[in-house]
């Protein structure tokens, strides 16, 4: 399995750290702690921000993966979700999503048809991008074709599949807590 390109790597707190996930080891020990929440993120930096948010609220993480923000990545949410679902240590999966690409919509379709038991919480960043067609932002993957790949299309697909979508970054914690 390949993680990346354009990723900071992955971390399973207290077990392994590959790449620059979490920064230097001393910093990673502050932001990450072992626990029941998996994280899959299109942003390496936001992987650490979500882990730190959870850690400051007493919630640890099982495995955290930054998939990268390029149009082509080695492993994406659709590849990783079944692995998290089979992981007995992961009780909830948090997704950090961004505009561009359609993997979130594909994941939503998969979740709806497979009826997996793993609860998921998603945060879709960059919702303002929908209001600025033709303007390019952030990662190379922030390419939206019509409505496909837009933040609003991702939110709608994820919600339709039964995935909780946090309206604000701070909403991640209460949504995760309802499953723990």
> What are the catalytic residues?
139
The tokens for 48 are 């650490």
Q: What is the DSSP letter of 167?
A: S
- DSSP 3-state assignment of 127? helix
Rounded alpha-carbon distances, angstroms, from residue 53 to 73, 105, 118, 169: 26, 26, 21, 9
């Amino acid at each position: 399995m390949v993680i990346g390109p354009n990723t900071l790597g992955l971390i399973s707190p207290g077990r392994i750290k590959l790449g620059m996930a979490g920064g230097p080891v001393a910093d990673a020990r502050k932001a990450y702690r072992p626990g029941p929440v998996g994280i899959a993120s299109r942003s390496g930096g936001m992987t650490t921000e979500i882990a730190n948010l959870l850690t400051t609220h007493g919630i640890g993480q099982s495995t955290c993966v930054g998939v990268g923000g390029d149009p082509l990545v080695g492993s994406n949410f659709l590849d990783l979700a079944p692995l998290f679902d089979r992981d007995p240590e992961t009780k909830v999966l948090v997704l950090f999503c961004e505009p561009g690409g359609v993997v979130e919509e594909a994941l939503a379709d998969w979740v709806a048809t497979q009826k997996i038991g793993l609860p998921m919480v998603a945060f879709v960043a960059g919702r303002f991008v929908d209001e600025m067609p033709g303007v390019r932002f952030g990662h190379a993957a922030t390419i939206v074709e019509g409505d496909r790949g837009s933040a609003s299309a991702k939110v709608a697909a994820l919600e339709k599949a039964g995935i909780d979508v946090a309206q604000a970054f701070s909403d991640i914690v209460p949504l995760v807590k309802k499953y723990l």
